[in-house]
Structure 1
Amino acid sequence: MTRTQKTVFILVALLALIMGLVFNSLMSSKNQGNNTALIDAGIILLPQSRHLPAVKMTNQDGQPVLMNELKDKWSLLFFGYTFCPDICPTTLSQLRQIKSELPKEVQDKLQIVLVSVDPNRDTPQQLKQYLGYFDPQFVGLTPGSVQALQTLASAVSIPFIPADTSKPNYTVDHSGNLALIGPDGTQRGFIRAPFNNQKMIAQLPGLVERP
């Protein structure tokens, strides 16, 4: 290789390096901008996805569901209960509104899941009737025991306080946040309450396009 060829080779290598650095910088800025918009909408993505435990639930149709097999769609898990006096009907109404304003192709990739924190009263039949008031396509899940529920809640970092079921008309303290589950069945993040409908509607289409 002549000196001239070496010089040209070095210049080409330097140019490729500079272009690569510029490209990476642009992509990093773009991703940072996307993440900033997600955070502004209350959508917090985990740096590393979490596997869900193989906790067995029963859905509103009486069918068994393993939580670590909740796949193929993006799932928004809301931990609540049908006898909840305030936060649950408000949250489910918001989620119904948000879903209704999303494009049809986005709706098809998304499911809203109510995980009951009140297995004592929330039978599959009760869940089905209750969710029918909001959206018949919403999924309701009830655990076989409070212990199974605690295992799942701890795994996705959505807290609740088991109720004293001996008291009449008892209530259950729980979080209003959502656990965000990807189509591979792993937890990808959270959606913080209170929700901003328009910001979530703007960000969810891009989110569900992720693998």
Structure 2
Amino acid sequence: MTRTQKTVFILVALVAVILGLTVNKVLNGRSEGNPTELIDAGIILLPQSRTVPAVEMTDEQGQPVVMDELKGKWSLLFFGYTFCPDICPTTLAQLRQVKSELPKEAVDRLQVVLVSVDPNRDTPAQLKQYLGYFDKDFRGVTGSLENIQKLANAVSIPFIPADTSKPNYTVDHSGNLALLGPDGKQRGFIRAPFNNQKLVAQLPGLVKRD
């Protein structure tokens, strides 16, 4: 092989490698979601994942749950309460609609968890009944106000505890969701208000990640 032929061979090999890497990057981008498209859908990923505190709660079945052990699925944590007059029913109805439009593979890797910010009224039985109006697979957790605040502050979705001495009190809280990965760590947020169509387009690629 002459020197010229060797040079041509090397150039062809380099071009093949570059094309291969480019195609691989594009394919990976399509499978996991384009960062710009994720942001446009209201999905904000953290530069580094955050550890969730090991606070003890009780789920809608009356079973103990340690919040840093929500593993195996992507979790959407919504901080709300069952007596909420507006944000909570709207948000849960939207999440039910989004879930109904996702492919089964994505649904199997995703769970919605309502974290009560009203432990004074939200018993496990109350959570189970309320969530049943939206989706039987939606989960709910309640616990001490101290633990709920610790969890909310850790995932940067704080709320203002209510004056429970007032009749028919309400609780000020955010409509944003904390996004936890299957490793149990916080990966980001989903901002409110939600765009159902964009979430349906982006969530399947996101939840393919480990």
Normalising by structure 2, we get a TM-score of: 0.88
When residues 166 and 202 of structure 1 are mapped into structure 2, their CA distance, relative to the original with a 3 A threshold, is same
Structure 2 counterparts to residues 117-128 of structure 1, below 5 A: 117-128=117-128
Pair 1:194 & 2:193 matched: yes
Question: How far did residue 147 of structure 1 move?
Answer: 1.0
Question: How far did residue 105 of structure 1 move?
Answer: 1.5
The AA in structure 1 aligned to 2:99 is: K
What is the SS of the residue equivalent to 1:78? strand
Q: Match of 1:91? A: 91
Question: How far did residue 146 of structure 1 move?
Answer: 1.1
What CA distance in whole angstroms lies between the structure 1 residues aligned with 2:55 and 2:199?
29
Let me know the Cα RMSD of the aligned residues: 2.3
Q: Match of 2:148? A: 149
The AA in structure 2 aligned to 1:75 is: S
Pair 1:170 & 2:144 matched: no
What CA distance in whole angstroms lies between the structure 1 residues aligned with 2:83 and 2:90?
13
Question: How far did residue 106 of structure 1 move?
Answer: 1.0
What CA distance in whole angstroms lies between the structure 2 residues aligned with 1:176 and 1:17?
50
Question: How far did residue 71 of structure 1 move?
Answer: 0.3
Gaps of 5+ in 2: none
Question: How far did residue 67 of structure 1 move?
Answer: 0.5
What CA distance in whole angstroms lies between the structure 1 residues aligned with 2:103 and 2:173?
31
The AA in structure 1 aligned to 2:45 is: L
What is the SS of the residue equivalent to 1:174? coil
The AA in structure 2 aligned to 1:154 is: N
Structure 2 counterparts to residues 1-211 of structure 1, below 5 A: 31=29, 34-143=34-143, 145-211=144-210
1:136-192 deviation line (CA, Å, top 9, x unaligned): 10000002x111111101110001001111111110000000000000000000000
What CA distance in whole angstroms lies between the structure 1 residues aligned with 2:147 and 2:14?
53
What is the SS of the residue equivalent to 2:203? helix
What CA distance in whole angstroms lies between the structure 1 residues aligned with 2:190 and 2:35?
13
The AA in structure 2 aligned to 1:52 is: V
